[in-house]
Structure 1
Amino acid sequence: MPTVEFNTNELTELTGVSDLNFLRERIPMLGVDMECLDKDKAVMEIFPNRPDMLCVEGFARALRNFLGIKKDVAQYEVRDEMKECKIFVDKSIKEIRPFISSAIVKNLNITDARLKSLMNIQEKLHITHGRNRKKVAIGIHNLDVINFPVTYKAVQPTDYKLIPLNFADDMYLDEILRKHPKGIEYGKIIKNFDKFPLIVDANNDAVSMPPIINADRTKVTTGTKNLFVEITGTNQYAVEKALAIVACTLADMEGEIYNVHINPKH
C-alpha cells in the first residue's frame, strides 16, 4: 500500500479538528494504517482502492464525511465557458497511447504547501493508479503560456525538439529517453514504438511528451494562477478517474474548474 505524509497543520485546518488524540482514534476507522500523527506530520498507508485519499485535500474530505462534520456529498461545478479550449486528437496516437482527458483550473493561490501537495498527488497516482505511468500519466501546466487549440499526436522522435522540465537545452525526443532522468526511468513505456506521443499548442510549441516529461516552459510555480491539466493513458476509465481526483483536489484549493473539449482529428 502507498504511504503518504501530510502536514498536521494542513490536516487539522482542512478537517476543522485540532484534537490529535481524537484523530489518532478515528483515522484508523477509515481503513488506513496510521504509522504516526504528531504536531508536525501524519504518516499513514492508504488502500489502493482509495486513490482520492492520496493527498491531504482528498483525505480531509473523506475524514470530514466519516466524522459527520460535513454530511452532504461534495458537489463540484465544472464550467463550460471556455469553448475555445480544445484538444485535437490525431489518429497517429491511436495505437500508442490513445486516451486523453483534460481540465482547466483558474484563479488558484498556489502556496508552497499546495504546490507540494499537488506534486505529491501526481506522483502517488502515477505509482499506484497509473501503474508507474504506463496506464495513466498526469501533466499539470501553467495555462498562461499555452495557446489553444492543443493537439495530441505521435511524431518521429528525431523530428521534434523540446526543452524538458528543469533542463536548459532542447533535445530530440529520443535524446530525452537516453539523457533525461525521467526518460531513463520511464522510456521503456514508449521506446519500442516508431513514433512518440507529443502534445503541442497552436504555435506548435511543446507542452509535454507523455508519459515522460513536461516542457520546461509550462512549469508550475508558486506564482502560477491558472492551470492546464492533461491526463493520458491506455485505459479511458482510468484516465477519467485520475482527472476527477486531480480536479477535485484543485477545487478544494479554491480553484475554478473548466471543461476542455476533446475532438478527434482525422
Structure 2
Amino acid sequence: MPVVTLQHRRLERLVGKGIDEILAMLPYIALDIEEEGNDYVKVEYNPNRPDFSTDYGIARALRGIMGIEVGLPKLNLVESSVATFNVDASVYSIRPYILALVALDGRMDDEDLRQLISMQEDLHMGIGRKRRKASIGLHDYDKVDGPFYYTTESKDFKFIPLNSAREMSMQEILASMDVGKAYGHIIKDHARYPIIKDAKGNVLSFPPIVNAELTRVTEHTRNMLVEVTATDLNTARDVLAVIAVTLSDMGFKVASVSINYDGYTITTPDMSHRRMSLPMDRLSLLGLDIDRKEVIECLRRSRLDVDEGKGKGEGEGEEVDGSIECLVPRYRVDIIHWIDLVEEVAIGYNISRFEPRYPRLKAMGSRDRTLKVLDDARSVMVGLGMLEVMNFNLVSMLMQYEMVGRRMDSNSLVVEESKSKEHEVLRDSLIPSLLAVLSRNVHEPYPQRLFEIGKVFSRVGESIREEWSIGVVIAHSNANYTEARSYLQAFLHTLFGIDVETEPVDEPPYESGKAAEILFKDKMIGSIGEVSSRVLSNFRIRVPVSAFEVIISRLIAK
C-alpha cells in the first residue's frame, strides 16, 4: 500500500484546523497512520484513492468531512486552450494516446515539488500499472515552444535525458540508465520509440522512460506542462484529472490543451463531473435512520454534490423513483457503483458516530464438520510418523496421466488454452503429485513417508464434483503392500472407527497383482498398492514405493 508523508504545519495551513483534531480524523477517511514524528505523520492510503497521494488531496477531503468546505471542489480552470499537440500516426501501434494540460502562474516550495514527484510515482505504480498503461511527464513550460509533436524516432536518435550531462541515444538510455533498465521492456520490441518534441525540435520526453533535462521542473518553475501518454484512454483521463485538481489546489491556473489526432481533435483535461443515481432504499445497508436532507449533507461532506434541479420528489435532489442524482467530481476515479455512493454517505455521516448493535439473530458459530475431520486426519497421520506436503490443484497432463500410465477420459477437467504446461488439468488423484515430491527428494535419507490432504475433481454429467482426499506414499528399500495396508487400517480405525474391504484390481500406477480398490459398504472410496517399477523409473525414484488414497468426503457423508 502506498504511503505519503504529511508535515504538521502544512496540514494545519491547508485544512484550517489544529493538528490534533486533524490526526484524529484521518482514520475516518480511510487513512491508516503508519508512523508519527514530532512534526510529521506518515499515512497509508488505498491505491483506489490516487487523489490521496499528496497532502493537498487529503486536506481537500478533510475540509469536507470537518464541514469547512463542502460540495464539489472549486477548480481554478482557464477556459481557452493555450497549447496544441499534434499526434503522428506512427505512435498508434506503440502508445496511441496522449493527453495534456498547462498549469500557469503557480508558486512551489521544496515540499510542493517533493509531493508532486511522489504523486507522479504513485500514479505510475498504481493506475498506471508501472507505466505500462500510463506514464506522466512534468515539464517547465517556459523552456519550450509550441505546438508540440508526439511522434516516433529511430533507436539511434539522441538527446540529453533527465539527470544526465551528455547526449545519449534512445537505445543507450534503455541499456545503461536505471530508469531505462526498469521500464525499457514496455517498448523495446518496437522498431521505433515514442518521442515528444516542441516546435523547434527540442525533446521534452521519451515516454514512458524519461524526460529531457531541458524541461526539468524545479521549485522555481512558474508554468508547467503536464503530458500523459497511455495505452488506455480512460486511464490517461483518470491520471490527468487527479493531477489537474492537485495543481489547482496548489494555486496554479489549469489551462486546456488541444490534441490533434488524424481526423479529429480533443481538448484536455475534461474535468466535468459524472452523474450517478443513488437509490434511497440502498441506504438501509448502513443501518442508519437518516432523512433525505441529511443524506445530501453527508454526500456534500464527502466532496460530492446533488443535482437540485432534478428534484421531483419530496426531497431536495430526489427523483420521482426515490433516488438521488449525485454529481461525482472527475478525480474520484474510485466511485463506479451505487454501493460506492453508500460508502460516501457513511464517511460523510462520520464513522465515529455509528453505534454498534448486537444482531437480532442469536446464533453460535461452529467449525465446519468437514474441516474439523480434515484437521483430525492431519493429526492422525502426523502421529503415525508421516510428513505433510502441499501441492497445486492444477498440474501438467504429463505428470497426472502419462508418467503414471493413466489415460485421460471424458471426465478429465482440462484448462482451455492454458498458458503453462504446468497448469493444464485439475487433479483427479493425489498420488502423481506425491510421486513428483519423492522424485525431487531422491537425495534425502530414507524412509520417506509423506501424505497430502487436498481436493480431487471429476465431471459428473454437466456438473463438476469436488471431493476431499488423502494420499499417502511410503518410500524405502522394503516398502510393500502390507506396510501400506497397516497404515491404512490405523488411519481409518483412529479417525472413523471403521473397517474396510479390499478388492484386487489391475490399474495404474500400481504393479499388476499388487493393487486393490478400497471398499466401504460396497462403495469404492479409494485405492492401495505398490507403485510399478515403470512408473518409478519415469519419476527417477530408485527405491520401492507403496501408496494409498482415500476419498475422505465419501466417509464424512456416511
Q: TM-score range by the shorter chain?
A: over 0.9
Aligned residue number for residue 410 of structure 2: none
Aligned residue number for residue 111 of structure 2: 113
Equivalent of 1:189, from 178, 186, 191? 186
Q: Which amino acid aligns with 2:101?
A: A
Task: Tell me: higher relative CO, structure 1 or 2? Use CA pairs within 8 A at least 6 residues apart.
Answer: 1
Shift in Å at residue 38 of structure 1?
Answer: 4.0
Aligned residue number for residue 30 of structure 2: 31
Shift in Å at residue 13 of structure 1?
Answer: 1.1
Shift in Å at residue 9 of structure 1?
Answer: 1.4
- Map 1:187-226; keep pairs closer than 5 Å: 187-226=184-223
CA distance in 1, matches of 2:113, 2:23: 26
Q: Unmatched 5+ residue regions in structure 2?
A: 264-558
Q: Secondary structure at the match of 1:260?
A: strand
CA distance in 2, matches of 1:16, 1:37: 20
CA distance in 1, matches of 2:145, 2:25: 47
Report Cα offsets for 1:200-222 as digits up to 9, x if no partner: 11111100000100000000111
Aligned residue number for residue 170 of structure 2: 173
Aligned residue number for residue 39 of structure 2: 40
CA distance in 1, matches of 2:195, 2:36: 42
Aligned residue number for residue 4 of structure 1: 4
How many residues are treated as equivalent by the alignment? 263
Q: Which amino acid aligns with 1:107?
A: D
Equivalent of 1:152, from 143, 150, 153? 150
Native 8 Å contact 2:8 2:19 kept in 1? no
Aligned residue number for residue 140 of structure 1: 138
Shift in Å at residue 82 of structure 1?
Answer: 4.2
CA distance in 1, matches of 2:75, 2:40: 29
CA distance in 2, matches of 1:250, 1:60: 14
Shift in Å at residue 77 of structure 1?
Answer: 3.8
- Normalised to the residue count of structure 1, the TM-score between the two structures is 0.95
Change (3 A) 1:265 1:145: farther
Identity between Structure 1 and Structure 2 (%): 35
Shift in Å at residue 48 of structure 1?
Answer: 1.5
Native 8 Å contact 1:105 1:257 kept in 2? yes
Aligned residue number for residue 238 of structure 1: 235
Aligned residue number for residue 54 of structure 1: 53
Q: Secondary structure at the match of 1:131?
A: coil
Q: Which amino acid aligns with 1:73?
A: L
Shift in Å at residue 42 of structure 1?
Answer: 1.5
Shift in Å at residue 147 of structure 1?
Answer: 0.9
Report Cα offsets for 1:121-179 as digits up to 9, x if no partner: 11111111211111111100000111111010122111x21100010000111110011
Aligned residue number for residue 262 of structure 1: 259
Aligned residue number for residue 67 of structure 2: 68
Instruction: Report the structure number with the largest CA radius of gyration.
Output: 2
Report Cα offsets for 1:181-238 as digits up to 9, x if no partner: 2111111111111111100111111000001000000001111110000011111111
Q: Which amino acid aligns with 2:225?
A: F
CA distance in 1, matches of 2:194, 2:7: 36
CA distance in 2, matches of 1:66, 1:79: 28
- Normalised to the residue count of structure 2, the TM-score between the two structures is 0.46
CA distance in 2, matches of 1:177, 1:265: 30
Aligned Cα RMSD in Å? 1.4
Q: Which amino acid aligns with 1:3?
A: V
Q: Secondary structure at the match of 1:120?
A: helix
Stretch deviating more after TM superposition (66-75 or 200-209): 66-75
CA distance in 2, matches of 1:234, 1:5: 31
Report Cα offsets for 1:42-93 as digits up to 9, x if no partner: 111111111011111011101111221111321214324344x100011100
Shift in Å at residue 265 of structure 1?
Answer: 4.4
Deviation above 3 Å: which 4+ runs of structure 1?
80-83
Native 8 Å contact 1:8 1:37 kept in 2? no
Stretch deviating more after TM superposition (39-48 or 248-257): 39-48
Stretch deviating more after TM superposition (240-249 or 31-40): 31-40
Q: Secondary structure at the match of 2:130?
A: coil
CA distance in 2, matches of 1:145, 1:115: 18
Aligned residue number for residue 79 of structure 1: 78
Q: Which amino acid aligns with 2:100?
A: S
Q: Which amino acid aligns with 2:40?
A: K
CA distance in 2, matches of 1:265, 1:80: 24
Q: Unmatched 5+ residue regions in structure 1?
A: none
Native 8 Å contact 1:9 1:40 kept in 2? yes
Q: Secondary structure at the match of 1:36?
A: strand
CA distance in 2, matches of 1:211, 1:111: 27
CA distance in 1, matches of 2:46, 2:235: 17
CA distance in 1, matches of 2:262, 2:144: 20
Q: Secondary structure at the match of 2:62?
A: helix
Native 8 Å contact 1:8 1:38 kept in 2? no
CA distance in 2, matches of 1:19, 1:193: 52
Stretch deviating more after TM superposition (37-46 or 59-68): 37-46
Q: Which amino acid aligns with 2:211?
A: N
Native 8 Å contact 2:81 2:258 kept in 1? no
Native 8 Å contact 1:137 1:231 kept in 2? yes
